[in-house]
């Protein structure tokens, strides 16, 4: 899971619990998303992110790769 990319479907940022969709196991799954430690800016809907930490069952910490 760590190192995979996903797309933000609900804004992620400091003080916000967002949502991302990650293509995994032959399908697409939604995860609750928090910003990676040290991330201070908001990551908007549609941005591509990288998973830097995974906490089962459905929580990930992400950092922006680039904006669409």
The CATH number of the domain holding residue 23 is 2.40.50.140
> What's the pLDDT score for residue 51?
97
Query: pLDDT at position 67, please?
Result: 56
Q: Report the distance separating Cα 12 and Cα 15, nearest Å.
A: 9
pLDDT digits (tens, 9 = 90+) for 4-63: 999 999 999 999 999 999 999 899 999 999 999 988 899 999 999 999 999 999 999 999
Give the count of domains, the chain: 1
The model's pTM: 0.91
Residue 38 is part of which domain span?
A: 5-66
């Amino acid at each position: 899971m760590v190192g995979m990319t996903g797309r933000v479907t609900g804004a992620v940022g400091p003080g916000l619990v967002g949502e991302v969709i990650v293509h995994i196991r032959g399908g697409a799954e939604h995860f609750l998303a928090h910003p990676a430690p040290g991330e201070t800016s908001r990551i908007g809907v549609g941005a591509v992110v990288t998973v830097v930490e995974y906490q089962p069952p459905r929580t990930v910490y992400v950092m922006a790769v680039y904006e669409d």
